[in-house]
Amino acid sequence: MKVHYSIQIFGRVQNVGFRYFVVTKAGEYQINGTVKNEADGTVVVEAEGAKEQLDIFLADLENGPGWARIDDVKVSQPPVADYNRFRVVY
């Protein structure tokens, strides 16, 4: 069953390759959705897929790539939006 996670990541998550990291992990776990840098310095990820895969994906995002520093992660579970791929939103 497909589920949707809306994930907001706080910390040093911009200008450290975080979006590339998210896109790579999404491909590994067959996750569809989007990733976007926000003006407030956070990164927002909309992710859809199997719950088991999303939970592993989320755990990776909570650790981030080497240069990032994750201070907090907020997750909500909105209705499925039926994304058909994963992409960066600018």
Q: Which residues are catalytic?
A: 19, 37
Distance CA 81, CA 64 (A): 25
Six-digit token string for 18: 């975080």
Strand 69-76 versus strand 86-89 pairing type: unpaired
Question: Do residues 3 and 54 make contact, with C-beta atoms less than 8 angstroms apart?
Answer: yes
